[in-house]
Amino acid sequence: MERFGHSGDARQPVVLTIPGLNNSGPGHWQTLWEKTRGDCERVDLGSWASPNRNSWVTRLDAAIRAADGPIVLAAHSLGCLAVAWWGALQSQAYGWPVTGALLVAPPDCDRMETPETIGGFGPTPRAQLPFPSIVVASRNDPYIFFERAHSIGKNWGSSFVDAGYCGHINAESGLGEWRFGQALLEKLIDNAHEQASAMRQLRPAIPLAHQERRWAALQVNG
């Protein structure tokens, strides 16, 4: 399969939505995005009510490997921890195949009072993610202190966005299709296109075999 960015590559980024505990219901912004956008696909992590970290990461990895082309992740709550663990355990080259991630309302799995259902996802990974990312946090999220969310985002190398007072940024927050979140998602998608354009400028007319060798060299030296 050709890498994103080769001359003539017209593939568009695929947005994989990754819900948290108990999945995302009909009024959740992830569900609404899947219905109204043409680029969103939900990852079925299974065991929604009794999540297992290793199982979720394995299923996420399978979904990423099955996608054709560049991938942007849009995760909510415990789904953010699945993404962070995938990033910590996998060895993808920076920015490929996952070109970016929108990480909304990650919970704090390291607190003493953390429910057992999500405690198995702790300790929260501290490794920088191998792709550009945006962490979005609410100032009155019941599952994490705002300052802690900022600290987690810093460890992950993420841009940090203050969502104001939106609770857990879920269906109960009354966000509908959450236009603000879609604007952030579009930034990550635009970044994927800019990355592809930069790749084309690096090798505008090099035969495919030479392009593959140059890409391998860039990975080694980059």
Round to whole Å and give the CA distance between 102 and 83: 10
- Output the tens digit of pLDDT for each of the chain's 222 residues: 344 444 445 568 999 999 999 999 999 999 999 999 999 999 999 999 999 999 999 999 999 999 988 999 999 999 999 999 999 998 899 999 999 999 999 999 998 777 888 889 999 999 999 999 999 999 999 999 999 999 999 999 999 999 999 999 999 999 999 999 999 999 999 998 887 777 666 654 444 444 445 444 544 444
**What does the alpha-carbon distance between residue 157 and residue 167 come to, in Å, rounded to a whole number?**
24
Residue 193 has a pLDDT of 85
DSSP structural state of residue 102? E
User: Does the residue 119 lie in any domain?
Assistant: yes
CATH number assigned to the domain comprising residue 125: 3.40.50.1820
**With left for phi above 0 and alpha for psi between -120 and 50, is residue 65 left, alpha or beta?**
alpha
- Supply the pTM of this predicted model: 0.85
| Element (DSSP H or E) covering residue 83 | helix 78-89
Domain count for the chain: 1
Residues 6+ apart with CB under 8 A from 118: 21, 51, 78, 81, 107, 109
Residue 38 belongs to a domain: yes
- Identify the pLDDT of residue 155: 98
Whether 11 is in a domain gets the answer no
In a domain, 6, yes or no: no
Domain annotation covers residue 205: no
How far is residue 95's CA from residue 157's CA, in Å, rounded to a whole number? 13
> For residue 132, what are its two tokens?
């550009």
DSSP element (H, E) containing 187: helix 179-202
Quick check: is 182 in a domain? yes
Q: Which two tokens stand for residue 139?
A: 């100032």
Sequence-ordered alpha helix ranges (H) in 131-175 = 146-156
Which structural domain, as residue segments, surrounds residue 180?
Answer: 19-200
Q: What is the pLDDT of residue 218?
A: 44
The answer to the question of residue 213 being in a domain is no
Residue 48 lies in a domain: yes
Facing residues of 135 across strands? 103, 160
> Are the CB atoms for 6 and 65 separated by under 8 Å?
no
Question: 111: burial class by Cβ within 10 Å (0-12, 13-18, 19+)?
Answer: middle
